[in-house]
Chain A
């Protein structure tokens, strides 16, 4: 895409360990345009955080990285090799799940924000502190002047995360990566932080990658969503498209397995059997096939490629939800009582009370 700020192509990350090469990210590609939000959704081991670390040049030395990352016409891995100082932390910044990993517990909040302004933008100490105060105000911290001289431990979890966001914004980044920014926070605080990130993104025209395990978090916030599983991209689509006509069985299963706030109590949840793969090996087939209701023989032998399902909608599946092949695969599995990977189909329907309208829409 011509106007893309960030273009990631076939990103691969492996970790060389004593047991061999661990493949954490296997060929992830996406474009991100200026001012847009990409939501990356996945469970532990999906490779979502490793992708973020790769972009932030934060991988440990024993990591092996492949693919290309292009940031506004510049080759990011080349910048990493030449030890570019004023890119990470300036043009591209990151907010982590635990604010304390980014904060120095023995330094005052103001000093910490001012530091990057002084290092990267060459501000004087006085100017940097004044700017730090402004930043704190922008991230909605009450009495910013007084907070400048406080230490991180004197702040609540929500305020700490705001300080971290202020630090991330200090040098006016063009891309902010937020890795589970609210997972450690309480619900009432969570919404505020997410709204704040959204407002700041809009006001500053910056792009954002929002990484989360919760599909609900990206709904209504991200322009595009990428669903990852076992290091692979499963599905990628504009957010509204994804929720309205999801194609990947994993996306569908994730939505059905999570209890909804509006469904009556004791609604039986549709389980996803098994667990995310802990062991990654070079695959012949689809990594989700062993847990999938739609799996057919081909899923075991051929790894599905990402194929187009309409404008900007990609899905890697041999039997996508809502397509003739998917519908056929599922009904065949249902009548056989088992899937191609030997999954018992009864467990999905057992004891399910009358499905409420909210849920049945998702069924293929």
Chain B
């Protein structure tokens, strides 16, 4: 490498040209690996690749999302049109997923149902991460009374009975898409806030934060430039896991009749197909939305979990597994 008089300036520089290029691996790293006897070596070496399962899961998520977004453009039946086929008939070449009791096309309904499910799930988790993440970073970095107040708010949110909360929100504001989304995001906020706070505390004690403050960075600048990028990566892996949760939660609400009034989601479809008689005579009416939701949530969990390992949140010394 260069004839630099001092330390070689190139990162991980080969020390000289005459090293034979057979294997180049890291002695220091190896020594470190062998250093503390308690180190879980196998774990450490594990996830350097995302693997096939991850990509299959991502493929499914993309497929469902794309289908939901472009549903109006797809050459499929109108999901609300009654009598497009025979009533409550099983899957056929014309109606791949069969029809429901009103003769509506279940394939088309499953795709359209994804729209509400995914939208509510997505926007509530994003809102929850924005609000909860901000709360967590601010309380983890500022500590003091801000931390106490925000901590108290978090506890209140965590201990409030969720169903009562939803009933209350719906009674007061109705069952609009954004109302339901907002109500769901309230569920997400406290957990996200606590996690973001924990990660923030780990990083706020690092010397680079002290260095930034010494340079004259304002608190806001420190939080945005120094803390946020470090919180963002591990949190983003959890976004997928959270999305799985909110989709399931919306399904549960819909089943109780507490979700979006206009249109229908997978949850609402399940509710409609889950009557005892329908289950006996036309089980496919409930089966396809359940299957779609199951596969989607499973994919989100598999992909999210893999990402979490990949970014190795344990490295931060919090939330082991």
Write the nearest CB–CB distance from B72 to chain A, whole angstroms. 47
CB within 8 A of B27: which of A18, A58, A61, A279?
A279
Chain A residues lying within 8 Å of B21, measured Cβ to Cβ, are 281
Give the CA-CA distance A346 to B3 in the complex, in Å.
13
Using CB atoms, name the residue of chain B closest to A278.
B28
Q: Please, which residues of chain A bring their CB within 8 A of the CB of B25?
A: 17, 19-23, 279-280
Q: Which A-chain residue is minimally distant from B8 (CB atoms)?
A: A274
Q: Which of A71-79, A126-134, A336-344 contacts B (4 or more CB under 8 A)?
A: A336-344
Cβ-defined contact, A60 with B33, below 8 A: yes
Report the Cα distance A274→B13, complex, angstroms. 10
Contact of B15 (CB < 8 Å), options: A20, A98, A277, A301: A277
Q: Cβ of B28 and Cβ of A53 under 8 Å apart?
A: no
Contact assessment for A277 and B18 in the assembled complex, using a CB-CB cutoff below 8 Å: no
Q: Which residues in window 1-41 of A have CB below 8 A to B?
A: 15, 17-24
Which residues, 42 to 74 on A, are CB-close (under 8 Å) to B?
Answer: 44-45, 47, 49-50, 53, 58-63
A interface footprint on B222-258 (CB within 8 Å = 1, 0 otherwise): 0000000000000000000000000000000000000
Instruction: Tell me the smallest distance from the CB of B78 to a CB of chain A, in Å.
Output: 53
Do A15 and B30 contact each other (CB < 8 Å), given the known contacts A20-B25, A21-B25, A341-B16?
A: yes
Output the nearest chain A residue to B21 by Cβ-Cβ distance.
A281
A290 at the interface (CB under 8 A from B): yes
- Measured CB to CB, the closest approach of chain A to B223, in angstroms, equals 34
B37 touches A58 (CB 8 A): yes
Cα distance A58–B38 in the bound complex, in angstroms? 10
**Taking the nearest CB of chain B, how far is it from the CB of A299, in angstroms?**
9
Q: Across the interface, do A101 and B38 meet the contact criterion of CB distance under 8 Å?
A: yes
Chain B window 1-14, contacts with chain A (Cβ cutoff 8 Å), 1 for yes, 0 for no? 00101111000101
A83 interface residue per 8 A CB criterion: no
How far in angstroms is the closest Cβ of chain B from A339?
10
Quick check: B18 and A22 within 8 Å, CB to CB?
Answer: no
Closest to A60 in B: B41
What is the CA–CA distance of A290 and B17 in the complex, to the nearest angstrom?
10
Given contacts A22-B25, A281-B23, contact A275 B8 (CB under 8 A): yes
B86: min CB distance to chain A, Å: 58
Q: Does more than half of chain A's interface fall in helix, strand or loop, or is it mixed? A: loop
Considering only CB atoms, which chain B residue lies closest to A295 in the complex?
Answer: B16
For the complex, is B31 an interface residue (Cβ under 8 Å from A)? Answer: yes
Q: Does chain A have a CB within 8 A of B315? A: no
> Contacts of B38 on A, CB cut-off 8 Å?
101
Q: Are A101 and B37 in contact, with the CB atoms below 8 A? A: yes
- Answer yes or no: A254 CB below 8 A from chain B CBs: no
Contact assessment for B24 and A19 in the assembled complex, using a CB-CB cutoff below 8 Å: yes
How many angstroms from the CA of A53 to the CA of B19 in the assembled complex?
27
Are the C-beta atoms of A279 and B34 separated by less than 8 Å? no
Asked if A49 and B34 sit within 8 Å, CB to CB, the answer is: yes
**Inside 8 A of A23's CB, which chain B residues have their CB?**
23, 25, 27
List, in ascending order, chain B residues with CB within 8 A of A18's CB. Answer: 45, 48
Docked Cα-Cα span, A24 to B25, in Å, equals 10
Provide the bound-state CA to CA distance between A61 and B30, in Å.
Answer: 13
B contacts with A, residue count (CB < 8 A):
32
B317 CB–A CB distance under 8 Å = no
Contact in complex: B35, A300 (CB < 8 Å): no
Residues of A within 8 A of B23 (CB): 19-23, 281-282
Establish whether residues B3 and A283, one from each chain, have CB atoms under 8 Å apart when the complex forms.
Answer: no
| Any B CB within 8 A of the CB of A216 | no
Q: How far is the CA of A344 from the CA of B2 in the complex (A)?
A: 11
Q: How far is the CA of A343 from the CA of B7 in the complex (A)?
A: 11
Q: How far is the CB of A201 from chain B (nearest CB, A)?
A: 23
Q: Are A44 and B31 in contact (CB under 8 A)?
A: yes
Give Cα A62–Cα B44 distance, bound, in whole angstroms.
13
Which residues of chain B are near A278, meaning CB under 8 Å?
Answer: 12, 26-29
Q: Does A173 contact B (CB under 8 A)?
A: no
Tell whether, in the assembled complex, residue A284 and residue B18 are in contact, meaning their CB atoms are under 8 Å apart.
yes
Residues facing A in B77-98 (CB within 8 A) are none
B5→A273 contact, CB < 8 A: yes
Q: Are A47 and B31 in contact (CB under 8 A)?
A: yes
The verdict on B36 contacting chain A, using a C-beta distance below 8 Å, is yes
Query: Given the complex, which residues of B lie within 8 Å of A277, measured CB to CB?
Result: 15, 27
Interface residue? B262 (CB, 8 A): no
B3 touches A342 (CB 8 A): yes
A 264-287 contacts with B by CB, 8 A: 271, 273-285
Contact A285 B33 (CB under 8 A): no
Q: Are A24 and B34 in contact (CB under 8 A)?
A: yes
- Whether a CB of chain A sits under 8 angstroms from the CB of B206 is no
A301, B45: Cβ atoms closer than 8 Å = no
List 21 contacting pairs A-B, 8 Å CB cutoff, sorted by A: A18-B45, A20-B23, A22-B23, A22-B27, A23-B23, A24-B30, A50-B31, A50-B34, A61-B41, A62-B41, A63-B34, A101-B37, A278-B29, A279-B24, A280-B24, A283-B19, A283-B20, A284-B19, A300-B18, A341-B16, A347-B6
The interface of chain A, by Cβ under 8 A from chain B, is: 15, 17-24, 44-45, 47, 49-50, 53, 58-63, 96, 98, 101, 230-231, 271, 273-285, 289-291, 300-301, 338, 341-344, 346-347
Contacts A281-B21, A342-B3, A344-B3 known; 14 new A-B pairs at CB < 8 A:
A17-B30, A20-B23, A22-B27, A47-B31, A53-B37, A101-B38, A278-B28, A278-B29, A279-B15, A280-B24, A281-B22, A284-B19, A290-B15, A338-B3
Which chain B residues have a beta carbon within 8 Å of chain A's beta carbons?
Answer: 3, 5-8, 12, 14-16, 18-31, 33-38, 41, 45, 48
Nearest 6 interchain pairs by C-beta? A20-B23, A22-B30, A342-B3, A290-B15, A344-B5, A280-B27
